[in-house]
Amino acid sequence: MTDPTSLRVGMVGYAFMGAAHSHAWRTAPRFFDLPLQPILTAVAGRNQQSVRDAAQKMGWESAETDWRALIERDDIDLIDICTPGNTHAEIAIAALEAGKHVLCEKPLANSVEEAERMAAAADAAAPRGVYSMCGFSYRRTPALALAKRMVEAGRLGQIRHVRAQYLQDWLSDADAPLTWRLDKSKSGSGSLGDIGAHSIDAAQWITGRNITGVSALLETFVKERPVAGDFVGLGGTGATGEDAERGPVTVDDAAIFSARFESGGSGDGSSDGGPSEAGPVGVFEATRFALGRKNAMRIELNGTRGSLAFDFEDMNALSVYDAADGPDAGFRKILVTEPGHPYTGNWWPTGHGLGYEHLFTHQVVDLVTAIAANRPPTPSFADALQVQKVLAAVETSAEADSRWQKV
């Protein structure tokens, strides 16, 4: 019998993202008053012993070696997809058609066509009370949620510039092993989809405006790498050095593009400018070759009334400039740990910062709350489809010598 007070979860995949999601499902009800109690019912993976070990370690009640078994089980209400992008469409569509809610990691798919099918399946399921959400977890960073609140309140006025970077260095070693993240057939793209997708989503979400066109450059610095085993994660094992078998890298190592945003949107917030004024311009960069940068997900917005800037390597802070304070005032740093800031009131006393894992807990809170209220959660599959269209436009532009490409 279905328990109306619980939400029984089945998760596919148990590596890096699976661990983060498992932690979130366990933690959310311990710090937030949720309308439904998450139950970690089953986790699925291909290797029987490994998935059983993962289930025991991460707190899942049972394990399966085929994701289809999760969908067939009557004791599972939601499917959480933490697998490479080439598997997302098949799993998500099957789950939605079977009446299961879906949480799917980003990017939504490996192509616009797959993402369109997923969005269509989500639209068909929603009237039946079956909901879906894409895991753009950075939306749940308290400082970024505060930035969006400020933009919506008109604190920045008319947005003119968006400047976004996502900088990592974990692939800068040319002998780092070849993994699924470097195989386009599995990952869809490299730094562009893996980390650049977060910047695209954050920029569109905070400004309330979609990207309408791009001019792009993609580069692969290391063309071949030592072949590793069946790897999932950010490290990996396998032979390295001159004697190791090497295979081709089929994705980008770095992505750079300029963008135009649509006019209007929540970033207007003032009478200066107006809906007829052109939308803001943007500059985006994503790389896994920025030595010394570990997870520098950065965004800066400049408007007619002020600016704000964020860097995830200082994730509990938001820098804000208010033009009304005069040119001598400069940026001021807000420590986003006050009880009135987004999400923070359920955690620690003021000044005691949060970490990366908290984003996934907040994601669970928002998802469970939306499902219990019988309303679609965000970001929706339609939101994620828009990001997928930007990713595709970037690749098309890069292939055409950076020619301007409409989204």
Q: Where residue 13 sits, what CATH number does that domain have?
A: 3.40.50.720
SS3 state at 100: coil
Verify that 122 and 164 share a domain, yes or no.
Answer: no
Residues 12, 79: contact at Cβ < 8 Å?
Answer: yes
Verify that 130 and 154 share a domain, yes or no.
Answer: no
Residues of the domain holding 350: 150-354
Verify that 156 and 202 share a domain, yes or no.
Answer: yes
pLDDT at residue 231, as a whole number: 37
Mean per-residue pLDDT over the chain, rounded: 93
Verify that 129 and 160 share a domain, yes or no.
Answer: no
Verify that 77 and 180 share a domain, yes or no.
Answer: no
Q: Is position 404 within any domain?
A: no
CATH number of the domain residue 257 falls in? 3.30.360.10
pLDDT at residue 243, as a whole number: 61
Distance CA 80, CA 90 (A): 13
Peptide bond connecting 107 to the previous residue in cis, omega within 30 degrees of 0: yes
- 3-class SS string, 313-343: HHCCEEEEEEHHHCCCCCCEEEECCCCCCCC
Q: Which of 26-30, 39-43, 225-229, 402-406 has the lowest mean pLDDT?
A: 225-229
Verify that 84 and 164 share a domain, yes or no.
Answer: no
Asked if pLDDT for residue 234 goes beyond 50, the answer is: no
pLDDT tens profile 55-96? 999 999 999 999 999 999 999 999 999 999 999 999 999 999
Verify that 327 and 202 share a domain, yes or no.
Answer: yes
Residue 292 gets the label, from left (phi > 0), alpha (psi -120 to 50) or beta, of: left
pTM comes to 0.93
pLDDT at residue 265, as a whole number: 52
Q: Is position 60 within any domain?
A: yes
β pairing state of 332-335 and 317-322: antiparallel
- Please choose, from the candidates 108, 42, 102, 115, the residue with its C-alpha nearest in 3D space to the C-alpha of residue 74: 42
Q: Which of 12-16, 109-113, 177-181 has the lowest mean pLDDT?
A: 177-181
pLDDT at residue 277, as a whole number: 72
Verify that 246 and 317 share a domain, yes or no.
Answer: yes
Verify that 224 and 325 share a domain, yes or no.
Answer: yes
Q: Is position 141 within any domain?
A: no
Number of domains within the chain: 2
Q: Is position 406 within any domain?
A: no
Q: Is position 405 within any domain?
A: no
Q: Is position 247 within any domain?
A: yes
Verify that 181 and 92 share a domain, yes or no.
Answer: no
Verify that 349 and 219 share a domain, yes or no.
Answer: yes
Verify that 348 and 199 share a domain, yes or no.
Answer: yes
Contacts of 381 (CB under 8 A, 6+ apart): 92, 104, 108, 115, 118, 119, 121, 122, 123, 132, 133, 134
Q: Is position 372 within any domain?
A: no
Q: Is position 395 within any domain?
A: no
